[in-house]
Amino acid sequence: MRRLEILRISGGERESRQDLVTEEVSLRLLAGHRRIAVLMCSPGDLEDLIRGFFYSNRFISRADQIRRIVINRATWSAFIELDPGIDPDSLRLGGVVGSACGSILPLDEGDGPSGRDESHAEGEACGEADRVESALRVSSRRISDLMEELRSRSKLHRRTGGVHAAALAGPGGVIIFREDIGRHNAVDKVIGAWLLQDGGFDDKILLTSGRLSSEILGKARACSLPVVVSRSAPTDRSVAAARRQNITLIGFARGRRMNVYSAAQRILGEEGCGGAGSGNAAHHV
């Protein structure tokens, strides 16, 4: 955060005062002397962000395929040493990844998004092998409680109003929490942090404060996450992808209300009993 002098206007009153604003940096990702991408992001938890970004974009399939990350905060450059079996020239994501929408902005045409939508294109081609299978079952009350925990942890958002939050939850509650100016970045930070703990995703719930776009669903699918929840709205593409991929997509999760757009068999009644898929083999959160 940074503290700045501002002019506050309220009706006819004008007042000079100090205000807190969130920081934004332009982080260059370099691997094998090749520029992979530039991320517009918050300056915290950058190693988590890089690991999650590489994993959710399918550049790596294991955390140990990134051998070392060195971050120069003077130039906001990240030097990434990859496993020798990964050719940096094969990583075709050169450009700026905007914090707001996650679109790729060509470095020589930075005045608008390129329209790239690989997650949707991949989703259209996915078959039965790409469907997310999980024995996870969770009550609607538990979802509400987890979203309240996400809100209560969002201290930076409460102080600045300028960041998104994301979390990964398991049987004991929220296990990883991160914030960033970009909702995609916050999700990547959560993914990267959990990867470093050699954790699996098939019995976890992804929580986010941001809009559920097809890119967010692409990240969930890359991790085989069975349940994705937000207090915000989904897009039609994200709903279509979630239905094809058997991911439980929940939007407008506010208080005890929520909309379940796909794979509703994983969501039980408020007390976690009854409902579809509540057999003995199911894993309950």
Quick check: 143 pLDDT over 60? yes
Q: Residue 96 belongs to a domain with what CATH number? A: 3.10.20.10
- What's the confidence (pLDDT) of residue 97? 63
In this structure, the answer to whether residues 157 and 247 fall within a common structural domain is yes
The pLDDT confidence band at residue 124, using thresholds 50, 70 and 90, is very low
Distances (CA, A) of 151 to 66, 207, 220: 32, 10, 21
SS (H, E, C) the chain: CEEEEEEEEECCEEEEEEEEECCCEEEEEEECCEEEEEEEECCCCHHHHHHHHHHHCCCCCCHHHEEEEEEECCCCEEEEEECCCCCHHHCCCCCEECCCCCCEECCCCCCCCCCCCHHHHHHHHCCHHHCCCCCEEEEHHHHHHHHHHHHHHCHHHHHHCCCEEEEEEECCEEEEEEEECCHHHHHHHHHHHHHHCCCCCCCCEEEECCCECHHHHHHHHHHCCCEEEECCCECHHHHHHHHHHCCEEEEEEECCEEEECCCHHHEECCCCCCCCCCCCCCEEC
What is the mean pLDDT of the segment spanning 42-59? Answer: 96
Whether residue 151 sits in one domain with residue 279? yes
For residue 118, name the pLDDT band (cuts at 50, 70, 90). very low
Go through the chain and tell me how many residues it has: 285
Q: Are 247 and 225 spatial neighbours (Cβ–Cβ below 8 Å)? A: yes
At 159 the pLDDT is 66
Q: Is residue 136 part of a domain?
A: yes
Q: Is the pLDDT score of 106 beyond 70?
A: no
pLDDT at 90 (0 to 100): 86
pLDDT at 282: 61
Q: What is the pLDDT of residue 77?
A: 97
- Domain holding 105, by residue range, is 25-116
User: Average pLDDT, stretch 132-142?
Assistant: 95
Flag whether 18 is in a domain: no
**pLDDT score, position 130:** 81
Tokens coding 268: 């039980």
Cα 94 from chain centroid (whole Å): 20
Q: Tell me the average pLDDT across 177-186.
A: 94
First to last CA, the chain: 35
Do 268 and 167 belong to one domain? yes
pLDDT of residue 264: 97
pLDDT of residue 89: 86
State the CATH number of the domain containing residue 191: 3.40.140.10
What's the mean per-residue pLDDT of the chain? 84
What pLDDT was estimated at residue 283? 67
Same domain, 149 and 230: yes
Whether 91 has a pLDDT exceeding 90, the answer reads no
Q: Are 165 and 253 contained in the same domain?
A: yes
- Does position 109 have pLDDT exceeding 60, yes or no? no
pLDDT the model gives residue 121: 40
Residues 112 and 240 in one domain: no
Residue 110 confidence class, pLDDT cut points 50, 70, 90: very low
Highest mean pLDDT among 23-32, 89-98, 273-282: 23-32
| Within a domain: 67 | yes
Q: What is the pLDDT of residue 182?
A: 92
Does residue 89 lie within any of the structural domains?
yes
Q: What is the pLDDT of residues 260-269, one digit of tens each?
A: 999 999 999 8
Distance CA 72, CA 93 (A): 21
| pLDDT beyond 60 at 105 | no
Residue 239 main-chain phi, psi, to 5 deg: -65, -45
Q: Are residues 70 and 104 in the same domain?
A: yes
Which of 23-27, 63-67, 110-114, 228-232 shows the lowest mean pLDDT across its residues?
110-114
Mean pLDDT score, 152-171: 81
Q: 175 and 51: one domain?
A: no
Question: How many domains does the structure of the chain reveal?
Answer: 2
C-alpha neighbours within 13 Å on the C-beta side of residue 22? 22
